[in-house]
Amino acid sequence: MYDLLVKGGTVLDRAQGISGKMDVAIAGGRVEAVEDTISDGKAKKTIDARGLIVSPGLIDIHTHVAWELVRLSIDPFVRCLLKGTTTAVDAGSTGELNYRGFEHYVIEASKTRILAFINIESLGMVEFADIKPGNTDQEWPSLLTRSKEKYAGMFISEENTERLIRDNPDKIVGIKWAHHGIKGMEKAREVGDSAGCRLMVENKFMPAAGVRLLKKGDIITHIFHDSFNANSGYVDGMCQDGTIPEEFFQMKKRGIIFDVGHGQGSFSWDVGELAFKEGLRPDTISSDLWSGNVKGPVYDLPTVMSKFLHLGMSLEDVFAAATSEAASAVGRRGKLGSLQPGRPADLAAFKIREGNFPMEDCYGEVRKMKRHIVPVHVVKGGELVLSNGKPVSS
């Protein structure tokens, strides 16, 4: 007898090559069967998924979920799990000095599966909050870039960071470099090589200074930003003077993973449209959810996915970018991102709403999307946590 049967939905599971109507049976917190037809009589409870997209639980590889520990963070249950994101990867909210608190108070206590990129800066992103301008009320972070980054090394312990990564391979998936100077990225490269792990770096100091530090399997996030970098002195992302530098095409060929990382200031409709015209599409779709953007322009991962439907990605590619490809990007292919029997029963069912949905980027530009992905049911580890759009009380 199955615990739960999800019946009649259109299953999109790139890892198994499935794109069509299938039933999914769950027992003991695991996927038991994915078949054309499974009888209702074999299950204790059945979810009617007719007319819905049934997907492996979404994997958001760029979030900030050190809830109530680092003040930029959001609640991973409300903002992630209830939206269909069963695995949230924290992108550097904590560093080696405060990771242990994050692990104990958030990761181990959360219904949402949480993985982490550890920040190369030992304090992580403790200074950030939804305070404008600058998103902080602290002055000390300016030391990281002052006097040609003379003091940057004071905020980084290569030895402690490497040790933490080696001791926690089940939870820490790599190193995050963000916001500050190129010397921090250089140190991240050194520690990543020593620890044998991937980097996630922000699309800053590109193409010249940053490109040389990236290797196959590294992730470049905020790929479609169009913002001025005060540290470099110019708009230093993918689009420069209305064109895309050749280095970005070369990065794609080298196997560097292009990640969305929408965020509060890192997604431009114009840059996205230019990149799609030139054939540069994202490998993974992530939100960069934090306290400053949950009320817009990000809202949640399904909304970000909807923006890439509008840009021209297929439904199958959009869901793959937030499931199987995301799992691969953080070293969890074969473990997450698929409904293959035996895997954890992480699953979500979505309605594709049709209409005209005005949706903003980070710079005030608006496009009218024709489709909007909305979560209806969410299952985490075999437990139904969202049913017909409403949280299920435990």
* Secondary structure (DSSP) of 236-269: -SS-BTTB--HHHHHHHHTTPEEB---TTTSB-H
Q: What is the pLDDT of residue 235?
A: 82
Residue type, 149: E
Tell whether 35 and 137 lie within a shared domain. Answer: no
Residue 383 belongs to some domain of the structure = yes
Round to whole Å and give the CA distance between 163 and 94: 15
Q: Is 360 left (phi over 0), alpha (psi -120 to 50) or beta?
A: beta
Round to whole Å and give the CA distance between 68 and 45: 36
What CATH number corresponds to the domain at position 118?
3.20.20.140
pLDDT band at 301 (very low <50, low <70, confident <90, very high): very high
Residue 68: CB atoms within 10 Å:
9
Q: What is the pLDDT of residue 394?
A: 64
Positive or negative torsion for Cα 165, 94, 149, 266 = positive
Tell whether 128 and 33 lie within a shared domain. Answer: no
Tell whether 353 and 292 lie within a shared domain. Answer: no
Tell whether 254 and 210 lie within a shared domain. Answer: yes
The DSSP result for 353-387, as a single string, is: EEEEEEEE-TTS-EEEEEEEEEEEEEEETTEEEEE
Tell whether 127 and 240 lie within a shared domain. Answer: yes
Tell whether 231 and 128 lie within a shared domain. Answer: yes
Tell whether 191 and 332 lie within a shared domain. Answer: yes
Tell whether 73 and 140 lie within a shared domain. Answer: yes
Beta bridge pairs of residue 351: 374
Residue 343 belongs to some domain of the structure = no
Q: Find the mean pLDDT for residues 161-177.
A: 98
Residue 266 belongs to some domain of the structure = yes
Dump pLDDT digits (tens) for 108-163. Answer: 999 999 999 999 999 999 999 988 888 999 999 889 988 889 999 999 999 999 99
Tell whether 20 and 104 lie within a shared domain. Answer: no
- Are the CB atoms for 62 and 356 separated by under 8 Å? no
Element (H, E) at 22: strand 18-27
Q: What is the pLDDT of residue 234?
A: 79
Residue 342 belongs to some domain of the structure = no
Question: Percent of the chain scored above 90 by pLDDT?
Answer: 90
Kindly report the pTM of this predicted structure.
Answer: 0.97
Tell whether 174 and 301 lie within a shared domain. Answer: yes
Residue 365 belongs to some domain of the structure = no
Residue 246 belongs to some domain of the structure = yes
| The Cα angle at residue 108 between residues 107 and 114, in degrees rounded to 5 | 30
Tell whether 101 and 17 lie within a shared domain. Answer: no
By residue range, what is the domain housing residue 181? Answer: 58-337
pLDDT band at 229 (very low <50, low <70, confident <90, very high): confident
What CATH number corresponds to the domain at position 42?
2.30.40.10
Q: What is the pLDDT of residue 241?
A: 81
Tell whether 136 and 35 lie within a shared domain. Answer: no
Residue 138: CB atoms within 10 Å:
12
Residue 114 belongs to some domain of the structure = yes
Round to whole Å and give the CA distance between 185 and 187: 5
Residues whose CB falls within 8 Å of the CB of residue 152, separated by 6 or more in sequence, listed in order: 143, 144, 145, 180, 181, 183, 184, 187
Q: Whose structure tokens read 């996030």?
A: 221
Domain count, the chain: 2
Residue 14 belongs to some domain of the structure = yes
Round to whole Å and give the CA distance between 277 and 368: 19
